[in-house]
Amino acid sequence: MALVALVAGATLPLALVLGLSMTLLQGAIGALNDLVDAPRDVTRVPAKPIPSGIVRVPTARAVAMGCAAGGVLLAIAGGAGLVALALVVLGIGAAYDLRAKGTTLSWLPLAVGIPLLPVYGWFGATGTLPGVFLVLVPAAANAGTALAIANAVVDMERDEAAGVGSIAIALGPWRAAILVLALHVVVAALAAGTAAVLGAPAGWLAAVLLAAATPLGGAMLGLAATQRGGPVLRELAWEIQAVGTGLLAVAWLVALSASEGGVPAG
Dihedral of the alpha carbons of 101, 146, 214, 240, in degrees to the nearest 10: 20
Give CA angle at 138 (137, 140), nearest 5°. Answer: 65
Q: Are 143 and 258 members of one domain?
A: yes
pTM confidence score: 0.85
Q: Are 260 and 183 members of one domain?
A: yes
* Residue pLDDT, tens place only, 2-34: 888 998 899 999 999 999 999 999 999 999 999
pLDDT value of position 3? 86
Q: Are 72 and 138 members of one domain?
A: no
pLDDT value of position 68? 98
Give CA–CA dist 149/143, Å, rounded: 10
pLDDT value of position 261? 55
Point out the domain boundary residue: 84, 103, 122. Answer: 103
Instruction: Map 219-257 to HEC letters.
Output: HHHHHHHCCCCHHHHHHHHHHHHHHHHHHHHHHHHHHHH
pLDDT value of position 165? 84
Q: Are 220 and 181 members of one domain?
A: yes
Mean pLDDT for all residues in the chain = 92
pLDDT band at 250 (very low <50, low <70, confident <90, very high): confident
Give CA–CA dist 167/158, Å, rounded: 14
3-class SS of residue 98: helix
* Residue pLDDT, tens place only, 95-118: 999 999 888 898 999 899 999 999
Q: Are 148 and 99 members of one domain?
A: no
Residue 201 falls inside a structural domain: yes
144 within 8 A of 113, measured Cβ to Cβ:
yes
Domain limits at 250? Answer: 130-266
Q: Is the pLDDT of residue 260 over 70?
A: no
Residue 137 falls inside a structural domain: yes
Q: The domain spanning residue 137 has which CATH number?
A: 1.20.120.1780
Work out how many domains the chain is built from and give that number.
2
Give CA–CA dist 247/212, Å, rounded: 8
